A and B are shown apart, each in its own frame.
Chain A
Amino acid sequence: MEQTRIKLEENEMWVRENLLKLPETPDESPRLIAGKCESCGDVSFPQKERCGVCSCKNINQIYLSRTAKIYSYTIVHRSVPGYQLPNIVAMLKFKEDDSLLVISQIKNIAPEDVKSGMEVELIIDKLSDNFMTGKKVIGYAFQPTIGDIIRER
């Protein structure tokens, strides 16, 4: 199972630029790029230009933990074109800031095994097929950290 990928193929595109810190050495793992307000500490993803809490202009770039916890989730059975179904979608929480919610697909797990509170880790994976360009959309997704629950769907 491919865990990290850095160079995109010809028929692939990033879901967005500047969301991911890609690993530079084999020991590193990919991370989400977030903003942390210098004065109040609020963490934003995607990174904001101004703090949404205190209007501070000084937002420092940080990398969120590779692991997060599933706060809530759904199994999507019907979607817009281009997504593999059923698709597990979750709202994640990170230890950096309890008020921050990040939405993501959960990969490599059977739908019936997903639970609220489950720990997951960041991977780079295919999110969808872009029906306008025909390209595979690559971006961040998460998978369970517990080894024996990980499986190919």
Chain B
Amino acid sequence: MRNVYIFGAGMTKFGLYNGIKLSEKSSHELGKEACLKAIDYAGINHNEIEGAFCGTVASQPTCAQMVLSFCGISGIPTYNHENGCASSSSALKHAWESVAHGICDTAIVFGVECWSHLMKTNGAALAGMASPPPGNNLNQDVAGAFGPALLAMVGRAHMDKYGTTVEQFAKVSVKNKRNAVMNPNAQFRKSVTIEEVLNSKMICDPLTKLQCCPNTDGAAAMIIGTGDIARKHTAKPVKIEVITQLSSPYKGLAGDLSGFKCFVDASKQAYNLCGIGPEDLDVVEVHDDFSILEVVAYEDIGLCNRGEGGEFIDKGLSDYGGKVVVSPSGGLLGKGHPMGATGVAQILELFWQLRGECGERQVKDARVGLAHNGGGIGEGFEPGATTITIVSI
């Protein structure tokens, strides 16, 4: 296998684009903006790109081809990946394998979502409630709002088993929304207090509105390639150490809902494959679609022991000056969560952090980063698709 590097990055500002708040834009225009930014950032000619890999959930069929036609890219192998909120990280895994195995030397990878208008029409105005029509998902049909309800039950199981508190979950929102203030691409740029988080509207007890990710539109893109090509364009390419991707294992942690076996397994596989451990990480982006998931993620990816996630946030160990900075971009809670774009956007934050380009939210001397991304619902009420990406400089 050849080493593979990221050397171009671009994203749109995340927000509501479909005539709600910002100017009216389509998924094609958002995707084009991100892709052209990534191409220009890399300083590569668009006709040097040999493969295209797109992640999207709610766009039209062959979204990638539509986006790339605006960028002058056609006549190359092009793939659209749908893996829920882990769609574009799954696309990146496919692209990484293609370059690593010599199928192509340079690839563009992007995620795009422009779906806030859909949420207006189906009546559910909260991203976690993204839901198929009745009859498609038994759990959804039984429970109603399935995403937030499930994470709320994960949180209560964690509270019952380990004594974790609602304040500890709320602190994730306080930290990540504060980080988003420092990110010009973030949807929300307003910090909140723990009281504001706890007193915001109850969605699924104990999850309040400020602990749930918003509806977001946006796109994020990157250029990857072999070492020779990457170094031609930048002195500081970011190496993709490993990407692991799993469907959730049957029954997860065997009836214990206070953690996710898919993330435990995918991160262990990743650490084993690249010889990097959780103690080596400087910066991490987690899938904090709900505050509870970040606390559980600390444990699942081995930043702390099982049951110590609440203490980890309490002591500021996931914050600047702590053990490892988690979600410096603002995470899904602060930066926003355009489902198909989230996976690539997480890794772009790591790319910029490792290159020292993050301004006031820069993590000092960041050399190794990990992205934790999950999508949909699979076996054992765990995410149907789990992706762990480790990058280094």
A residues whose Cβ falls under 8 Å from a Cβ of B: 15-16, 46, 52-53, 71-83, 87, 89-91, 93, 98-101, 103-105, 111, 116, 127-128, 130-133, 137, 139-140
Contacts and interface: CB of A to CB of B under 8 A. Distances in A.
A89 B139 CA distance: 11
Contacts of B40: none
Given A52-B250, A132-B133, A15 B204 contact: no
A105 B156 contact: no
A101 to B, nearest CB: 6
A76 B207 CA distance: 9
B251 A100 contact: yes
Contacts of B145: 76, 78-80, 83
B96 interface: no
Interface string B244-276: 000000110011010000000000000000000
A91 B149 CA distance: 10
A101 B126 CA distance: 26
9 contacts: A53-B251, A81-B123, A82-B144, A89-B153, A99-B251, A100-B251, A103-B381, A131-B134, A139-B141
A132 B149 contact: no
A90 B207 CA distance: 15
A127 B148 CA distance: 18
Contacts of B153: 72-74, 89-91
A75 B145 CA distance: 11
B380 interface: yes
Contacts of B58: none
B175 to A, nearest CB: 23
B193 to A, nearest CB: 22
B358 interface: no
Contact of A15 (B142, B156, B251, B379): B142
Given A78-B203, A128-B144, 17 more contacts: A74-B153, A75-B204, A78-B145, A80-B124, A80-B145, A87-B143, A90-B153, A99-B251, A99-B255, A101-B381, A103-B139, A104-B142, A104-B143, A105-B142, A116-B160, A130-B134, A132-B134
Contact of A16 (B138, B201, B257): B138
Interface string B182-210: 00000000000000000001111111000
B393 interface: no
A7 B376 CA distance: 35
Contacts of B129: 78-80
B154 interface: yes
B143 A105 contact: yes
B255 A100 contact: yes
Contacts of B251: 52-53, 99-101
B202 A127 contact: no
A80 B160 contact: no
Contacts of B134: 82, 128, 130-133, 137
Nearest to B205: A75
Contact of A72 (B160, B250, B380): B160
Contacts of A80: 122-124, 129, 131, 140, 144-145
Contacts of B122: 80-81
B85 interface: no
Contact of B144 (A53, A76, A91, A132): A76
